[in-house]
């Protein structure tokens, strides 16, 4: 299966909504049916219009099928949802990799997110660490260093230059 990751457009709002519902309703064990239904119903397709217009949403597609999507803004990963039939095939990891590279391009050294309890193991696999108490929604704040501080090399060079000058 060849998977492409591309920016979502306003034409994708329906599919974004549909993937999210499918991903949430497909979660096993951790949540009861009522909780999953309430989580899935919390958003309408229009809710994502602003994020999509801002260029924050990326969509994984295979041919004409949407498999999953993720969104980020600043250093924050605001959502990752993979269709349950495409779960555990590496689509989530591929989307996270694209979001992390977008975050680095925006000049950040760390990625942050709030994980629902069912997804903590997924994020740990990708190098994220819990960084504090549960937030008000019961989500786990997590963080991952993406690269060395931007100015480390510069500072080292500056120190070297000043040592030579001394
Ligand atoms: C959590 C979710 C995004 C994972 O996506 P995915 O495409 O199945 O993940 P991948 O196939 O890329 O898995 C990457 C690795 O994480 C592991 N993994 C995936 N889901 C996991 C989970 N819930 N718990 C622990 N490990 C998990 C995989 O086994 C894989 O490990 P490996 O590399 O050793 O084989 C997806 O299951 C989903 O959309 N869940 C419902 C919505 C949700 O909870 N989103 C997150 C909200 S914060």
Q: Which carries the bigger pLDDT value, residue 29 or residue 99?
A: 99
pLDDT-derived band at 16, boundaries 50, 70, 90: very high
pLDDT, tens digit, for every residue of 66-99?
999 999 999 999 999 999 999 999 999 999 999 9
CB atoms within 10 A of CB 46: 9
Regarding the domain delimited by 4-165, which CATH topology (the fold level of the hierarchy) does it fall under? Answer: Aminopeptidase (3.40.630)
CA dihedral 9, 13, 15, 17 (to 10 degrees): 140
This prediction has a pTM of 0.90
Q: Which atom of ligand 1 is nearest to the CA of 26?
A: 41
pLDDT, tens digit, for every residue of 113-161?
999 999 999 999 999 999 999 999 999 999 999 986 555 444 444 433 3
Q: Is the pLDDT confidence value at 29 over 90?
A: no
Ligand 1 centroid, distance to 151 Cα (angstroms):
33
Ligand 1 centroid, distance to 34 Cα (angstroms):
22
Best probe residue, ligand 1, of 122, 130, 142 (max atoms within 8 Å of C-beta): 122
Domain ranges of the chain: 4-165
Enumerate residues lining ligand 1, CB below 6 A: 23-24, 27, 80-82, 87-93, 115-116, 118-119, 121-122, 125
Q: Strand order in 76-82's β-sheet?
A: 4-7, 57-62, 65-73, 76-82, 110-115, 140-145, 129-130
Q: First and final CA of the chain: distance in angstroms?
A: 60
pLDDT of 28 reads 86
Cα dist from 133 to 72, 80, 97, 139, 149, whole Å: 22, 21, 26, 9, 26
pLDDT of 1 reads 77
Q: What are the DSSP E strand ranges found in 34-158? A: 57-62, 65-73, 76-82, 110-115, 129-130, 140-145
The widest CA-to-CA distance across the chain, in whole angstroms, is 69
Please tell me the residue having the least CA distance from ligand 1 atom 20: 122
| Tokens at 12, concatenated | 């994708």
pLDDT of 150 reads 55
d(CA 106, CA 34): 38
pLDDT, tens digit, for every residue of 33-73?
999 999 999 999 999 999 999 999 999 999 999 999 999 99
Q: Which residues contact 150 (CB under 8 A, 6 or more apart)?
A: 107, 109
| Tokens at 14, concatenated | 């329906």
Please tell me the residue having the least CA distance from ligand 1 atom 10: 90
Best probe residue, ligand 1, of 92, 114, 137 (max atoms within 8 Å of C-beta): 92
pLDDT of 147 reads 80
pLDDT of 31 reads 79
């Amino acid at each position: 299966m060849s998977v492409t990751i591309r920016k979502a457009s306003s034409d994708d709002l329906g599919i974004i909504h549909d993937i999210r519902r499918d991903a949430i309703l497909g979660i096993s064990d951790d949540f009861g049916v009522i909780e999953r239904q309430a989580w899935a119903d919390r958003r309408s397709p229009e809710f994502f219009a602003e994020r999509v217009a801002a260029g924050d949403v990326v969509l994984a597609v295979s041919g004409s099928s949407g498999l999953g999507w993720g969104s980020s803004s600043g250093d924050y990963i605001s959502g990752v949802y993979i269709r349950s039939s495409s779960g555990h095939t590496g689509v989530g990891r591929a989307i996270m990799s694209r979001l992390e590279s977008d975050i680095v391009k925006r000049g950040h050294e760390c990625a942050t997110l709030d994980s629902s309890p069912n997804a903590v193991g997924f994020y740990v696999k990708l190098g994220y660490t819990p960084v504090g108490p549960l937030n008000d929604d019961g989500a786990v704040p997590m963080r991952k260093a993406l690269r060395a501080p931007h100015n480390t090399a510069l500072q080292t060079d500056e120190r070297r230059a000043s040592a030579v000058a001394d």
